[in-house]
Structure 1
């Protein structure tokens, strides 16, 4: 795990990685299927593709519905900004040019399996967290710290679920 940044304007990032005893093709089938992610996340509740898309492609959009005890419920539109099959899958939240967050999975074949990392950057676009910071600017560093720790925990949980599914040989919603 690695995390940097203390203020929202610093665009803090977090990255977690794991080695998976499964080929990149099997891991890719999981990370590139965003409709699987709600089953691996406490916060993300549902995902639906937009514009007639049924899977990832450069420029494709999906809507994510999220829920958090302290932040409530919300929906965001995400745009696929990097898509290199078996290597990189990334999406920008809300505005591809100035996202509220940027998320990325990276895969590398390693030691007969796959090195998988998930990285995210908060900002630079304003998000729901910005409103909390506006109300309590003196607590900005604590607010950002707490949220980044939540992201770190969520990413760790997601990677563990991907690892478990990939190593068990399951790659989709049907379990096959």
Structure 2
């Protein structure tokens, strides 16, 4: 687990990896089914494909509805920006040319199973976190650090759920 950057403008990132005792195809079926994600996330409440899409492909979009004690409820539209079956699935939140966040699952065969990582980047586009930073610019580094730690814990919990389901 690691995170880099201290200010929002630095587009700080966090990544967590786990090993799963299941083949990449089994793990892929879980990570590429976005409608399963609300069951494995503390913040994400619902997800639905847009524009008639039935699943991920580069250029498809989905809407996610989330909730957080400090930020309230919000809705975002994400754009699939990378999609290679059994390898990588990534999406940009809001504007793909200046996303408020980018999320990525990466899979690779390892030791008879699958190494699965989830990575996310804050910014460079504005997000709900930007509003908090605008209100308390002197606390920007702390706000970013706390949010990255929340994402780190959330990602670790999501990967644990995927591991549990894939190994069942």
Deviations 1:61-114 (A, max 9, x none): 000000000100000000000000000000000011110000000000000000
Q: Distance in 1 between matches of 2:97 and 2:59?
A: 12
Aligned Cα RMSD in Å?
A: 0.4
1:2 deviation in Å? Answer: 1.1
1:28 deviation in Å? Answer: 0.2
Q: Distance in 1 between matches of 2:96 and 2:126?
A: 13
Corresponding residue of 2:33: 33
1:130 deviation in Å? Answer: 0.4
Q: Distance in 2 between matches of 1:31 and 1:5?
A: 27
Corresponding residue of 2:104: 104
Structure 1 unaligned blocks of 5 or more:
169-176
1:143 deviation in Å? Answer: 0.4
Q: Distance in 2 between matches of 1:58 and 1:138?
A: 39
Q: Distance in 2 between matches of 1:27 and 1:47?
A: 19
Structure 2 unaligned blocks of 5 or more:
none
Corresponding residue of 1:162: 162
- Does residue 1:131 correspond to 2:106, yes or no? no
Q: Work out the number of aligned pairs and report it.
A: 168
- Does residue 1:22 correspond to 2:17, yes or no? no
Deviations 1:33-87 (A, max 9, x none): 0100000001000001000011101100000000000100000000000000000
Corresponding residue of 1:72: 72
TM-score (norm 2): 0.99
1:7 deviation in Å? Answer: 0.5
